[in-house]
């Protein structure tokens, strides 16, 4: 029997940008959607993010990047997850991500990119669908 349990999400800001308004709004929004949200703070390296995700046994990592370095940082997180054998964690991206970069990021394994203005409910639904899917498997 799969019990009802809170979905665990890690919200992380990789790289050097200091703008975490969006990350904080999302943290609160997902909390209100009934999830346990771990916020790790600014200026995280991909190594730190992946280590925290493993220790916290999260279902989802949400990466927020407004500095333009997403094409480097997001795939680096994916690579480390693979290395550590944690590829089953769903990774979402957000921030200022140009449309033309999205295909590459998805190819690297980022499940979805949510830009500014996305209703939080959509993000929560996307997460729930994926977690439900996984627990069926």
Residues near other proteins (CB under 8 A) are: 1, 3, 5-6, 8, 27-28, 30-41, 47-48, 51-52, 54-57, 84-86
Q: 45 vs 71, which CB is nearer to other proteins?
A: 45
Contact of 113 with 92, CB cutoff 8 Å: yes
| Beta strand spans in the chain (E) | 8-12, 36-39, 60-65, 90-95, 112-114
Q: Torsion angle of alpha carbons 103, 42, 52, 10, nearest 10°? A: -60
Shortest CB 66 distance to other proteins, Å = 19
Shortest CB 45 distance to other proteins, Å = 8
Q: 29 vs 68, which CB is nearer to other proteins?
A: 29
């Amino acid at each position: 029997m799969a019990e009802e349990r809170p979905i665990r999400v890690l919200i992380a800001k990789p790289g050097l940008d200091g703008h975490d308004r969006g990350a904080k709004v999302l943290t609160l929004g997902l909390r209100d959607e009934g999830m346990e949200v771990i916020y790790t703070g600014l200026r995280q390296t991909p190594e730190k993010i992946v280590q925290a995700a493993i220790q916290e046994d999260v279902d989802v990592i949400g990466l927020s990047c407004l500095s333009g370095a997403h094409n480097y940082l997001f795939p680096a997180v994916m690579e480390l997850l693979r290395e550590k054998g944690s590829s089953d964690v769903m990774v979402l991206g957000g921030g200022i991500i140009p449309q033309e970069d999205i295909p590459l990021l998805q190819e690297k394994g980022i499940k979805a990119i949510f830009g500014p203005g996305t209703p939080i409910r959509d993000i929560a639904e996307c997460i729930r669908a994926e977690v439900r899917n996984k627990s069926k498997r």
